[in-house]
Amino acid sequence: MKRYKYLILNRFTENLRLSDIMKHQGISDFTADWVEIRRKIKGAGASAVKIHSMKVDRKNDMVTFLFKSIPTYDNKAQAVDFPDSNSEKTVKAYTQQIMILDFFKWAQTKPGYNEKELTRQEIKEIFQVADIKLSCNCKSFQFQGMNHILTTFDASIYPENRPPLVWNKFHHDDNFLCKHLDILLTSALNIYLSNMASMMNSYLNKN
């Protein structure tokens, strides 16, 4: 675990944040090859993943965005049935989640805070600096070590304490994003950040 933390935390000054992950690569060379294959088949960036919905948990001060990404080769695929990491289900699209932590805590640092007056730009800035947690229900994320590495620095939505026994030989312990999360976070997020901010802005003005 210490080795994982050293490899990852030397890239990030604090916990995982969108502003960091959009600048730093979080995939191994092995995964990068598969990212390129997927891009050729399904297209790059926003064409390969779609924003689906948003869930606000005021009690725990969390905002979670759900995205959908269709399988690379087949119309359906086996996916992990989170929160039960040992169960599987058949899906037409994989689900990626980005959980923004302490959103309202950050928002309240604005002088004269009124949540209905938060601008989309201010919301976007909070999303970029707040700590985040991630998940994807593809089997690669769960079983090839990505989820385990995220868990070691408290950035997994569905923690996995079992280290990979085989796949770490392919990834060399240096990846914490599957190809779906990589495409979302490094190629498409500049577009979707505006959508995310608009969704949150609409929520604040209705509640």
Say which residue the tokens 């891009």 belong to.
39
pLDDT of residue 5: 39
pLDDT of residue 1: 32
Q: How confident is the model at residue 25 (pLDDT cuts 50, 70, 90)?
A: low
Q: For Cα atoms 162, 80, 135, give the angle at the middle one, nearest 5 degrees.
A: 75
Closest CA to 164 of 31, 23, 22: 31
pLDDT of residue 33: 75
Contact partners, residue 29, CB within 8 Å, separation at least 6:
none
Phi, psi of 110 (to 5 degrees): -70, 130
Q: Is the pLDDT of residue 95 over 80?
A: yes
Contact partners, residue 8, CB within 8 Å, separation at least 6:
149, 152, 153, 176
What CA–CA distances, in Å, run from 134 to 20, 69, 169? 14, 15, 23
* Percent share of the chain, pLDDT over 90: 46
| The model's pTM | 0.85
Higher pLDDT: 56 or 20? It is 56
Which DSSP state fits 45?
G
pLDDT of residue 176: 80
Closest CA to 99 of 140, 48, 133: 133
Say which residue the tokens 């995310």 belong to.
196
CA distance 43 to 48: 6
